[in-house]
Amino acid sequence: MIHLDLGKLYPVLFLFLFSCAYNDLSESFDCTQSDLSIVLESKQDVTGCKSIDGSITVSASGGEGPYDFSLNAGVYQTSGLFSNLGPGSYTVTAKDLFGCTSTQVVELTSSGSTLVAVAATNPDTDCFSDNGSITINASQGKPPYKYQFDTGSFSDVSTFENLKFGNYTVTVKDGDDCPLLLNVTVPRGNSSISYANDIKTILDTKCNISGCHNGSLGSTRDWSTYATAKANASGIQSRTANKTMPPGTPLTQNQIDQITCWVDDGALNN
């Protein structure tokens, strides 16, 4: 009779099951193929420049329900109604079951003010720091104008720098103390992370090794070629970001950031 020493066998089984097999990447839904859309059902403009009696009602169609809704990148809710709003520009987002989103900008005007403000942005293009910016140009109403960035204090400063890509709110007030809220998106620019010079080196030294992604487990998992690395880019980004991959020596935060930026750039063959 053969006796197995389970104390010695378990570590071997663990390494076999979880060394590189756990690197299999689950497929996620491609939101570029989604037909999700957000629909403005109604809006109520504001009755006075200092009033907060405006409202927005939206619904969603397409995609895969149920849907959730968010105002200015805030917390999602099941209702498409947003109330107690002042004058300004609002970005409303619908999200479906797969996490796909659709957005629409809605303007609420005030009968008690002629204040107008427009935002100009520069994209965030730095992978390791933030270099986006917002400049607000106010006109009409009653000068002088004051500006508030997010929840900060009002000041004469109308340009805000060193910003990460994403959504921000800027409130403008004129000489009559009439406020106007702007929801501004700083776009993400190309970070210039190179596949040939940056990403391939990381993959070749950390992932494209025997028993993992050098092709020994099949051509679809051979990340030594650009085509298969690109095909698995979103999964590589997700698993390296949550540090469940690669096995063995983990990636540095700098390497994780480079992979994230490369994928967000479109996983270019550059």
Which pLDDT belongs to residue 267? Answer: 94
Residues 6+ apart with CB under 8 A from 267: 195, 229, 230, 233
Contacts of 230 (CB under 8 A, 6+ apart): 267, 269
Q: What is the pLDDT of residue 20?
A: 57
What's at 31, amino acid-wise?
A: C
Would you say 86 and 46 are in contact if contact means Cβ atoms under 8 Å apart? yes
Q: Using N-to-C axis directions, what is the helix angle for 253-264 and 233-241, rounded to 10°?
A: 150
Q: In this structure, is the dihedral angle defined by the CA atoms of residues 192, 196, 202 and 208, taken in order, positive or negative?
A: positive
Residue 264 in tokens: 């967000």
Residue at token pair 């690109």: 230
**Domains with residue ranges and CATH for the chain:** 31-108 (2.60.40.1080), 116-186 (2.60.40), 191-264 (no CATH)
Contact present, 187 and 124 (Cβ < 8 Å): yes
In terms of DSSP bridges, do strands 179-186 and 166-173 run parallel, antiparallel, or are they unpaired?
A: antiparallel
Q: What does DSSP assign to residue 7?
A: H
- DSSP characters over 199-268: IHHHHHHHTSSTTTTSSTT-GGG-TTSHHHHHHTHHHHHHHHHTT--SSSSPPPHHHHHHHHHHHHTT--
pLDDT attached to residue 135: 98
Give the global pTM: 0.77
Gap between the Cα atoms of 151 and 168, Å rounded: 10
Q: What is the pLDDT of residue 15?
A: 43
Average pLDDT for runs of 10 along the chain of length 270: 50 45 56 92 95 97 96 96 97 96 95 93 95 97 96 96 96 96 95 94 87 74 87 90 84 94 94
